[in-house]
A = this chain, B = another copy of it.
């Protein structure tokens, strides 16, 4: 079915993909309009449904495409020989930011898909996520947790770290446009660095 889509002009392919990413990330599944997509991609309505059986199939294809592109590139640039948690986290944050800069549309789309509530696709998304969830925690897998203070519950500490970074990101994205992020690259890293320093003081054994 999708072989049709893959065999067409790369330019057109990208035009369609980008139009979809934009429309879906801006409006969510239900409110996204295929009419807008074809207008934006400069193709006819019929052609879109020639490539994809229906809206749902289109969305799920897009999700897989975006997730795959993002995660593979993300993990390629993680140095798994580095066993220190904080250094690993620095890498991950930096990595994610570079990717958000490189693929802003995909980043936005995935952000929105994370909160997608439409009954038409929600279960499919959950299903697809299960397949890769264990991969996501690879970052915290082979870490030298011996550096932690004995009295600290590592699991709780990890949660604090993750939630802090998520909280910072959420606040940042609320206060700034994604396009603006490109310029604030350094600022973000410095902010995160401050938190990481606190975590080191808090959680690591003093040497």
Most chain B CB atoms below 10 A, which of A31, A157, A162, A164: A164
Which residues 150-191 of A have a CB within 8 angstroms of B? 151-153, 156-157, 159-160, 162-164, 166-168
Interface residue A195 (Cβ < 8 Å from any Cβ of B):
yes
Cβ contact within 8 Å between B31 and A194? no
Cβ contact within 8 Å between B31 and A157? no
Q: A: which residues have CB within 8 A of B?
A: 30-31, 115, 151-153, 156-157, 159-160, 162-164, 166-168, 194-195, 198, 201-202
| Complex CA–CA separation, A195 to B156 (angstroms) | 7
Would you give 25 A-B contacts (Cβ < 8 Å), ordered by A? Answer: A115-B115, A151-B201, A153-B194, A156-B194, A156-B195, A156-B198, A157-B198, A159-B164, A159-B167, A159-B168, A160-B164, A160-B195, A160-B198, A162-B167, A163-B163, A163-B164, A163-B166, A163-B167, A163-B168, A164-B164, A164-B167, A166-B167, A167-B167, A198-B202, A201-B202
* Identical chains bound together, number: 2
A205 to chain B, nearest CB (A): 14
A156 partner residues in chain B, CB cutoff 8 A = 194-195, 198
| Complex CA–CA separation, A24 to B166 (angstroms) | 27
A30 partner residues in chain B, CB cutoff 8 A = 31
Q: Beyond the given A163-B166, A163-B167, A167-B167, please list 5 additional residue pairs across the A-B interface where CB-CB is below 8 A.
A: A30-B31, A152-B198, A159-B167, A160-B164, A164-B164
